[in-house]
Structure 1
Amino acid sequence: MNQSIKLIATAAMGLEAIVAQEVRQLGYEPEVDNGKVIFEAPIIAIPRSNLWLRTADRLKLVVGEFQATTFDELFEATKALPWEQFISEDGQFPVSGKSHKSTLFSVSDCQAIVKKAIAERLKLKHGLASRMPETGALYKVEVAILKDKATLSIDTSGVGLHKRGYRVGQGEAPLKETLAAALVLLTNWRPEYPLIDPFCGSGTIPIEAALIGQNIAPGFNREFASENWHFVKQKLWAQALEEAEDLANYDVDLHIVGSDIDHKMVGIANANALEAGLGTLISWKQMQVSDLLLKQENGYMISNPPYGVRLGHTKEIKDIYEALGKLIKENPTWSIYIMTAFENIEGYIGKKATKKRKLFNGFVRTDYYQYFGKKN
């Protein structure tokens, strides 16, 4: 099957433009929509995109789109789609669904109808007299209906793309790897500059920065559902993996530090970095932010200080942001980036941010405060 396919890279709110830029860097032309980036590409884009997209949540293959206001329309239009091109004779195809502002509002009914339509199509095309065995590869189908337009897709990723495979330990409120990578990509940091996260927790921001710095594909050490699909040939996966290996630059020297007040989290962060194959590329230290000394110039601080249920006392908030304000004042060549759900931290810091961007950490609305340093 050599035809072009339509793909959707789903994205957290506020990160669509970053995901689109990553798609563009892969050589495909993206179309940005709320919570997703859509693009057409050859089949090899399935392994390449899964391996390389740092900030997308998952990658879906669009099988078809159509208007549907009745269950009959949904059934017949689903059955008319070429499912046999994608789902193997023994493939498992569970169906999930969602509906918003649509005539067909019963998600469970829509799922059952789509499941039945796909099964009838596959039995006909594969020449099966009885029910589908569903003992083979997994093809997770989704029916999403928005304003009476149905989009039927298959999840190519399996486990979400934020699961890089290196997290052997974590704290109470770990930062998603995809969001951590976005925090780095939203800056002008380059590998030759020092980078520190003084609230590193399980080390996600420093680890993602190191992967970016050495151009290591974030999905290089994990598996994907579509690796077992018959139409995504193993030679395409081999080609994509070879490309990822060739583009990695393991010789880049990095100056990345992660620190935290909790010695247990520092140990977890170090274990995660080792699992990611980063060895001693990142330095880990136990210290509080008020003891931090930035000896180099032109550096970057990228951090997600504790907030919400993790920090309930005004004095703790005040101490943290006053310490950050002191660092900003005493290190004018450093660029400081802080993501937090607390409002008006500029009052504690004592300086208005150069730029502020709204982001979501899960369902928590945050602001990304950006203090640009004056480079020498």
Structure 2
Amino acid sequence: MSSSEKTAFCATCLLGVEGLLSEELRDLGCEDVRAENGRVRFAGGWEILARACLNSRYAERAGIFLGEFPARSFEELFQGVKALPWEDFLGKQDAFPVAGSSLSSALHSVPDCQAIVKKAVVERLKSRYRLSWFPEDGPQHRIRFRILKDRVSLTMDACGAGLHKRGYRPASNAAPLKETLAAALVKLMRLRPDGTLYDPFCGSGTLLIEGAMLAMNIAPGLGRSFTAEDWSQGDPAVWRQERERARDLERREGGFTGTGYDLDPAAVELTLENARRAGVHGVLRASVRDIRDFREESPFGCVVCNPPYGQRILDQEAARALYREMGRVFSPKRGWSYGVITPEEDFESLFGRKADKRRKLYNGMIRCQFYSYFKWKESEARKI
């Protein structure tokens, strides 16, 4: 694939984030952007793939989209995979491990599907390269398959480690929020470049750090590498140029500030340590404080938080008491907004007010709602 050739790509994401990812990819210059369930397809040249890997805040993975076809039997799976042009992307030495998933499909055994996909790719390469054995000691080209409702799609992963691995959080607290989800939450709250962000349950600082990176337009992938950088089809100059492009677009003087609180001194120190690794420590601060002592200390502010809850750290009754306290201290005030992610179905009743907007999201495997409060005059008339 040359840098100017248009190629089909695919980025996966958490359920509920497809819209944000689509908008982001369009802003990055991607073409033919199409949102699907848990992923977004797009197209462009090699520079577009590099740009997506380096800059996407919401994608879990990105890679080359190889093809899609129906399959209800192992034979259909084998023939469908074998028909794809693997030789266009895999050399004689390249490693090509296989991973995947299956949901609501006749082919439900993932290990068996992995073996069939691997065998089909090998058979295709044998016929093209006239070889009987492949050493697989070259650059890695991980093949990922998804079987959803008997429809198979295959991609070649360009990332290596998932894109949520920014590199600033080698350690975390007991219940960390995924970086990609944290980035989505601060985006949904329309955090401004000159905004003031608060997280009264800062934990390892993920929400604050992602908020700072969003406000200052710092590309989340600048501190890491990607497996596609080693592919023979790629041009190292393209990756260098895209890194330079990302750095040129940073805006570190916008006036953003972030403040975190936590009951645990170790969590506060972890927040500050991770902020240093991310290069945003100059705009963040954190201290030990109980939620009962939360105060609006600036003319305007945006609170985004992932409070402890029964499935995570606290027992159910303690979590419910915490939500009542949050409703008391997060008082209606002009210029302030609040966003809370939680699986608690009775959150609005406990908090004391209906949310101005709700959005279904997943924190890992836990189905949650993201409750947003920003229309205080209207919400006062809608108290429960």
Compute the TM-score of the two structures, normalised by the length of structure 2: 0.91
8 Å contact from structure 1 (residues 166, 272) kept in 2: yes
> For structure 1, which segment, 302-311 or 195-204, has the greater mean C-alpha deviation from structure 2 after superposition?
302-311
SS in 2 for 1:44: helix
Deviation at 1:94, TM superposition (A): 1.1
Matched, 1:117 2:120: yes
Distance of aligned partners of 1:345 and 1:236 in 2 relative to their CA distance in 1, 3 Å threshold = same
Matched, 1:307 2:316: no
Deviation at 1:127, TM superposition (A): 4.5
Cα distance in 1 for residues equivalent to 2:120 and 2:352: 62
Cα distance in 2 for residues equivalent to 1:295 and 1:143: 50
Q: How does 1:175-194 map to 2 (within 5 A)?
A: 175-194=177-196
Deviation at 1:273, TM superposition (A): 0.5
Q: Deviations over 1:40-68 (max 9, x none)?
A: 22222211111111111111311122334
Q: Deviations over 1:77-127 (max 9, x none)?
A: 423322122112211111223334445444433322321222233244345
Q: Deviations over 1:124-168 (max 9, x none)?
A: 43453x410100111111233334432222111111111100003
Cα distance in 2 for residues equivalent to 1:345 and 1:180: 20
SS in 2 for 1:137: coil
SS in 1 for 2:46: coil
Tell me the residue number matched to 1:159: 161
Distance of aligned partners of 1:315 and 1:121 in 2 relative to their CA distance in 1, 3 Å threshold = closer
SS in 1 for 2:338: strand
Cα distance in 2 for residues equivalent to 1:102 and 1:348: 40
Q: How does 1:1-376 map to 2 (within 5 A)?
A: 1-2=1-2, 3-28=5-30, 29-128=32-131, 130-308=132-310, 309-312=312-315, 314-315=317-318, 317-318=320-321, 320-329=322-331, 331-373=333-375
> Aligned residues: percent identity?
41
SS in 1 for 2:303: strand
Distance of aligned partners of 1:7 and 1:329 in 2 relative to their CA distance in 1, 3 Å threshold = same
Letter aligned with residue 302 of structure 1: V
8 Å contact from structure 2 (residues 29, 48) kept in 1: no
> For structure 1, which segment, 40-49 or 105-114, has the greater mean C-alpha deviation from structure 2 after superposition?
105-114
Cα distance in 1 for residues equivalent to 2:90 and 2:67: 14
SS in 2 for 1:268: helix
Deviation at 1:362, TM superposition (A): 0.8
Cα distance in 1 for residues equivalent to 2:67 and 2:351: 51
8 Å contact from structure 1 (residues 298, 334) kept in 2: yes
Q: How many residue pairs align between the two structures?
A: 373
Cα distance in 2 for residues equivalent to 1:346 and 1:149: 39
Q: Deviations over 1:317-369 (max 9, x none)?
A: 32x32332233325343101111122222233222211111111111111111
Letter aligned with residue 268 of structure 2: V
Deviation at 1:314, TM superposition (A): 1.9
Distance of aligned partners of 1:304 and 1:99 in 2 relative to their CA distance in 1, 3 Å threshold = closer
Cα distance in 2 for residues equivalent to 1:322 and 1:297: 24
Letter aligned with residue 205 of structure 1: L
Letter aligned with residue 321 of structure 1: Y
Letter aligned with residue 45 of structure 1: I
Distance of aligned partners of 1:306 and 1:235 in 2 relative to their CA distance in 1, 3 Å threshold = same
Cα distance in 1 for residues equivalent to 2:300 and 2:291: 19
Compute the TM-score of the two structures, normalised by the length of structure 1: 0.93
Distance of aligned partners of 1:274 and 1:66 in 2 relative to their CA distance in 1, 3 Å threshold = same
Distance of aligned partners of 1:287 and 1:136 in 2 relative to their CA distance in 1, 3 Å threshold = same
8 Å contact from structure 1 (residues 298, 373) kept in 2: no
Distance of aligned partners of 1:340 and 1:97 in 2 relative to their CA distance in 1, 3 Å threshold = closer
Deviation at 1:11, TM superposition (A): 1.2
Distance of aligned partners of 1:352 and 1:103 in 2 relative to their CA distance in 1, 3 Å threshold = closer
Which consecutive residues of structure 1, in runs of 5 or more, have no partner in the other structure? none
Cα distance in 1 for residues equivalent to 2:267 and 2:364: 21
